[in-house]
Amino acid sequence: MIDIHDFFDIDENGIPVKKPINRNAFTKEDVAYKIKVIKAMQDLGMEVTIDAIGNICGTFPGKLRTDKSNIAGSHTDSVDNGGQFDGPLGVYAALKATENLVKNGKNKTNLINHKVIVYACEESTRFQGKACLGSKFLRGDNLDFDNIKSREGLSLRECVAEFKAELFKQAKEAGLKPIKEVDKVIQPDEIVTAIEGHIEQADTLKDSGKSIGICTSITGPYRLKTTDVTTDIKTAAKFACSLNESARNPENFTNFRITVPKFSFESKTKEDDLKGKKVFTIRALGEQNHSGSTPMEKRKDPVYGAAKFIELVSNHPDIEVLETYTPKCGFNQINKYCDIKLAIDEKEFGQNISHFLLAQRTAGQIANITFEDRDDIIKEPFKDPENPTDDEKPGLYIDIRQQIGMEPELTGDMIFDCVKDIVHTTKSSVRMNVTSKGKAYRTNSDLVDSAVEICKENNIPYEVLASWAGHDSATLTHDELARIILIFCASSGGSHNSDETTTLDYIEKLVEVISSLSERELNRANKLYLEKTYASLTQDLKHVKKLSKELEISLENPNNFVERI
């Protein structure tokens, strides 16, 4: 029996525990969790395979077509200090849905494959902005295994090799059956239906009293970062503020969301120039959260607050911003804090402090954050001080989440217009490199209707909505005939932080919807491929009859030929 306590920490009162999870892709922690999943797959009687990038798949082979599959699943890797349900909940729901198919005997009547997938490396944390690597590999993207580097400096190839060696070692120690290695666990044109369950990454469902979210579209991230630190602190602040304020305009709420995960710069002011000045650090303190799923109006964004503060004091002659720093946080997260080092002329300090405090108060109100005094900026040490990684270098990172109707080209034009205006007014320069041009993905409308029908039949409160976070289901295949859907489970505490949580009732509702949808889609596929096979055999029979007539060979019971085959 698939037991939720094997996968999640639930207290004695049946309440999920809020806890920080650090299970980056391909690490030993990731291996240990996947061993639990593999054991569950094998206990259900599934054949388990692993492919060249580390995707893991449990299969009930089809009785008629082993080249076509209905699949369900999600990922198990996490961001730094993430929550325990982001990803694994979709894997658990797929396993429970499979268990229900077994109980109903459907695994013995599936004419196409039924597969449970654990996608490798969905989160972008370890590979500096590169997300959904496992599903993109399945889609056929040409991933450069040698030049995609982890933040530790290892290549993707090295990370996968270490992961597999550890996985096979732990599997043997756990007494599991051998895991077969294949090139790909799914082929791009193999998918008939793909269902992904996931915790919702905002509080939208909980706030509206709904248990289930049925997604009509999945966002496409558009990401940029500075390639050369020619942007000064003031210009960077103006850029960050301009983008944030554009996204916070109510007219744009349904089009895009913008986050600046990294805002780290150093001024060229020399120590001698600081004589007679009071130097100190303040910290803009907000709340770490998911950059896509957190609505602009609900954010506590310290980087935006810091940028707004800098913008408010930037023209004051006696206040100089020396340095800004944000910690490593991942390419797709609202950061938890941003430090600002300043210098104020000591002779004019008393006259300037009121302006300084007013800027703090105004910026804090606008960005919904607080400021606190610090002794100094505390930086994380570089892994190799002589050769810092791109993630460690100073600069500005930007994450833009587009929805249907906001194409990458339009986003690029918007960024260009913003940069052009700022460069013109500041007489500075901004050099940015686009690292991702994702496009929003529309899910299958028939599956959306079917999921709505299931919720209505079972009195499950639901909402039809868009996903503002990226997911494997959006990058799984280019096949337009594949039926793909994303189902959310209500949550609280947002996502990509340790406060993320849900309830057992919400989880049960998610399992119920995915189980019913999986069974419906299996029945649909059985009928579809029986009819296709029958039509093909009938055509073959006509050809055989024609040949028998030409060759003057008599066939025994030719009219029963199709039925006998």
Is residue 83 over pLDDT 70? yes
Looking at the structure, give the CATH architecture of the domain made up of residues 222-437: 2-Layer Sandwich (3.30)
Determine the Cα–Cα distance for residues 114 and 98; give it in Å rounded to an integer: 8
What's the maximum distance between 2 C-alpha atoms anywhere in the chain? 113
Determine the Cα–Cα distance for residues 530 and 361; give it in Å rounded to an integer: 68
Look at residue 102 and give its three-state secondary structure. helix
Band the pLDDT of 565: cuts 50, 70, 90.
very low
462 Cβ contact list (under 8 Å, min separation 6): 210, 211, 212, 213, 214, 451, 452, 455
Q: What is the pLDDT of residue 227?
A: 64
How confident is the model over 257-276, as pLDDT tens digits? 999 999 999 888 887 788 88
Q: What are the structural domain ranges in the chain?
A: 20-219+440-527, 222-437, 538-564
Q: Who wins on pLDDT, 438 or 488? A: 488
Alpha-carbon Rg for the chain in angstroms: 27
Is residue 447 over pLDDT 80? yes
Pick the CATH number of 20-219+440-527 from 3.40.50.300, 3.40.630.10, 1.20.120.330, 3.40.30.10: 3.40.630.10
Sequence length of the chain is: 565
Tokens 């990226």 locate to 470
Q: What is the pLDDT of residue 552?
A: 79
Determine the Cα–Cα distance for residues 29 and 24; give it in Å rounded to an integer: 7
Determine the Cα–Cα distance for residues 92 and 95; give it in Å rounded to an integer: 5
Determine the Cα–Cα distance for residues 247 and 297; give it in Å rounded to an integer: 10
What's the rounded mean pLDDT across residues 201-214? 93
- Beta bridge partners, 464, equal 214
Q: How far apart are the first and last CA of the chain?
A: 37
> What pTM was computed for the model?
0.88
Instruction: Tell me the pLDDT of the chain averaged across its residues.
Output: 91
How confident is the model over 405-419, as pLDDT tens digits? 888 999 999 888 888
With pLDDT > 90 as the criterion, what percentage of the chain qualifies?
Answer: 65
299-335: b or e for each residue (b if 16 or more CB lie within 10 Å)?
bbbbbbbbbbbbbbbbeeebbbbbbbbbbbbbbbbbb
Is residue 564 over pLDDT 50? no
**Token pair for residue 18?**
């809020």
Q: What is the pLDDT of residue 427?
A: 76
